[in-house]
Chains A and B, each alone.
Chain A
Amino acid sequence: MIDIKFDGSGSPSSVTNKDFDVIILGAGPAGLTAGIYAGRSLLKTLIIEEKAVGGEAASTDAIENYPGFPDGISGFELTERMRQQAERCGARVLITSVKSVALGNTTKSVETDSGTFNARSVIIATGSSPRPLNVPGEETFKGRGVSYCATCDAPFFAGKDIAVVGAGNSGIQESIFLLNHVKSIAIVEFLPHMTAEKILQERIMKHENVSLHLNSKLLAINGTETVSSITIEQNETHKKQDLSVSGVFIYVGLDPNTALFSSSIALDEQGFIKTDDRLATNIHGVFAAGDVRRKILRQVATATGDGARAAFSAQHYLNR
């Protein structure tokens, strides 16, 4: 593992000059890669992040399918390196809340808690957030047994029986991590099969303390103060059963973070940003990259590719 040493320089940066060539919204892998490419093109580049650098990828315990790391790398370490690289290339990273955006004019503006910033081009790389299941008990027990972050919450479930909902890459990868802490895992998947990479499927099924409930729907999360069980239903037989668990980790997909743009940017029916081959949106000078845009595969590897393409397109737009 690579030891990242912190010197505090990743904290909010002072940005006294409010005018930039390009503003990148979001500091996940897509936004940081766009920052690297834009910075190396000598564009005045500002990356604005609302929460924390790294995005959803930073919460992943082990990323094993990003090229260049044969032993895998934690999402935090990978994205921290991306941040350092983006800043080394000249991009500025500002952590602040975005209040509103005005994208329609030649000069775009982004109003934040730290002031209003302007640029001739904007790259939207705001990513996505874990999708809630919206089942009874989910909201009630959020943080009290319901979790969307295994790396944050796993130690609280040491030696306990838990459930993981979703058998995609995230669900299985995080299950493998959770097995370091918990007694057993019941994996609940709505589809009749797992959708995680085959290598992950093989790895998880080697564990005797993992049970698989395919073709099953989570109906409810039950408990009093904390979670004590879940109720699932088999899709074909409609047979219901309660599983005694102390925790439920939910990995059933992602919702795009597009609330700021929903009135101005063209979205698809699921709320993801529509882009063309250059990753341009329906507004001139505004591009989108990473999980937030409509695409078939949301991975760090595709996000970085998006970031490079969006920055290239932004540069081309600015030089036209």
Chain B
Amino acid sequence: MAAKKKHTVVVFTAPACSWCRRVKQYLKGHHVPFKEIDISRNTQAAKDIMRRTGQAGVPVLLIDNRPIVGFNKSVIDRLLDIKGHHDDH
């Protein structure tokens, strides 16, 4: 199920971070376009995340400029209007 309305989604990631991959996989599975920023290559982005969230960890999502720390599925679902489950087979 695609998101009902268009959202701006940015995902901050690190290369070895499995939760980051799961978040990206989840968004792709729901056909949600997003921009990815690798904080290991962008130290300023890492500082920005810490400033905005107070957290030193990824994944962090910005959904319509609202930060979500971690793969917080229920919040992500709510903000992106993802409901229940969908056919993928």
User: Which A residues have a C-beta under 8 Å from some C-beta of B?
Assistant: 6-15, 51-54, 58-59, 61, 74-76, 92, 94-97, 113-115, 143-145, 147, 149, 151-158, 177, 225-226, 247
CA distance A15 to B50 in the complex (A): 39
CA distance A148 to B58 in the complex (A): 12
Q: List 30 A-B contacts (CB under 8 A).
A: A6-B21, A6-B24, A8-B28, A8-B31, A9-B89, A11-B25, A13-B89, A14-B86, A14-B88, A15-B85, A51-B71, A51-B73, A54-B18, A59-B18, A59-B19, A76-B18, A114-B84, A114-B85, A143-B69, A144-B56, A145-B56, A151-B14, A151-B17, A152-B18, A152-B58, A153-B58, A155-B14, A156-B46, A157-B56, A247-B56
> Does B74 belong to the interface (CB within 8 Å)?
yes
Determine the chain B residues whose CB is within 8 A of the CB of A151 once the complex forms.
14, 16-18
* Contact between chains at B17 and A58 (CB < 8 Å): no
Determine the chain B residues whose CB is within 8 A of the CB of A11 once the complex forms.
25-26, 28-30, 86, 88
* Contact between chains at B20 and A152 (CB < 8 Å): yes
Among B18, B57, B73, max chain A CB count under 10 A is at B18
Among A145, A149, A155, max chain B CB count under 10 A is at A155
User: Which B5-62 residues have C-beta < 8 A from chain A?
Assistant: 14, 16-22, 24-26, 28-31, 39-40, 43, 46, 50, 54-59
CA distance A82 to B2 in the complex (A): 27
The distance from the CB of B88 to the nearest CB of chain A, in whole angstroms, is 5
Determine the chain A residues whose CB is within 8 A of the CB of B54 once the complex forms.
143-144, 225
* Contact between chains at A153 and B18 (CB < 8 Å): no
Determine the chain B residues whose CB is within 8 A of the CB of A96 once the complex forms.
85
CA distance A141 to B89 in the complex (A): 43
Q: Which residue of B lies closest to A227 (CB)?
A: B56
Determine the chain B residues whose CB is within 8 A of the CB of A75 once the complex forms.
18
* Contact between chains at B14 and A154 (CB < 8 Å): yes
The distance from the CB of B9 to the nearest CB of chain A, in whole angstroms, is 15
Known contacts A8-B31, A11-B30, A51-B71; A143 and B56 CB within 8 A of each other: yes
The distance from the CB of B75 to the nearest CB of chain A, in whole angstroms, is 12
* Contact between chains at B16 and A61 (CB < 8 Å): yes
* Contact between chains at A95 and B16 (CB < 8 Å): no
Among B26, B30, B59, max chain A CB count under 10 A is at B26
Known contacts A8-B29, A153-B58, A155-B46; A58 and B84 CB within 8 A of each other: no
CA distance A151 to B15 in the complex (A): 8
Determine the chain B residues whose CB is within 8 A of the CB of A177 once the complex forms.
16
Q: A8-B30, A154-B16 given; name 15 further pairs at CB < 8 Å.
A: A11-B88, A14-B88, A52-B18, A58-B22, A76-B18, A114-B84, A143-B57, A147-B56, A149-B19, A151-B16, A152-B14, A152-B59, A153-B58, A154-B14, A156-B46
Known contacts A13-B88, A51-B71; A156 and B29 CB within 8 A of each other: no
CA distance A137 to B41 in the complex (A): 30
Determine the chain A residues whose CB is within 8 A of the CB of B28 once the complex forms.
6-8, 11
The distance from the CB of A63 to the nearest CB of chain B, in whole angstroms, is 12
Known contacts A61-B16, A149-B57, A151-B14; A52 and B22 CB within 8 A of each other: yes
* Contact between chains at A158 and B29 (CB < 8 Å): no
* Contact between chains at A155 and B85 (CB < 8 Å): no
CA distance A51 to B70 in the complex (A): 11
The distance from the CB of B49 to the nearest CB of chain A, in whole angstroms, is 8
CA distance A113 to B43 in the complex (A): 38
The distance from the CB of A60 to the nearest CB of chain B, in whole angstroms, is 8
* Contact between chains at A52 and B56 (CB < 8 Å): no
Known contacts A6-B28, A9-B29, A10-B29; A152 and B19 CB within 8 A of each other: yes
Q: Which residue of B lies closest to A92 (CB)?
A: B89
